[in-house]
Amino acid sequence: MSRQEELAAMMVCHCKAINSEFILRQFNQCSVTVDDLAKSAGVGMDCGACLDLIEDMLEQSPMHFGSTEQEVPVFLGAAS
């Protein structure tokens, strides 16, 4: 099983119930950034725990080009 196939079954953003299949589809079809996903789907906007994984997924995306250095949202969740 490839790394991408493993990711296809994984819940990425538990706060918004968004899985890796949705995120990979957005990366591959729309060439979105992490910031775009945060604005459109809300990923990373609550607790922020998913942001590192989403950035890793973007780096591994076949459509990825250029730098991954981009603005990531500051999460609005309560401090633990």
Looking at residue 67, its pLDDT comes to 41
The pLDDT of 2-21, averaged and rounded, is 78
Phi, psi of 50 (to 5 degrees): -85, -10
**Tokens matching residue 30:** 């729309």
**Tokens matching residue 8:** 């296809």
Q: Strands 11-13, 18-19: parallel, antiparallel or unpaired by DSSP?
A: antiparallel
DSSP annotation of 77: S
Domain spanning 3-60: CATH superfamily: BFD-like [2Fe-2S]-binding domain (1.10.10.1100)
**pLDDT exceeds 70 at position 3:** no
Residue-wise pLDDT for 32-62, tens only, equals 888 888 888 899 999 999 999 999 888 877 6
Helix (H), strand (E) at residue 19 = strand 18-19
Question: pTM for the whole thing?
Answer: 0.63
**Tokens matching residue 75:** 């999460």
Token look-up 């789907």 returns: 41
Residue-wise pLDDT for 21-32, tens only, equals 888 888 877 778
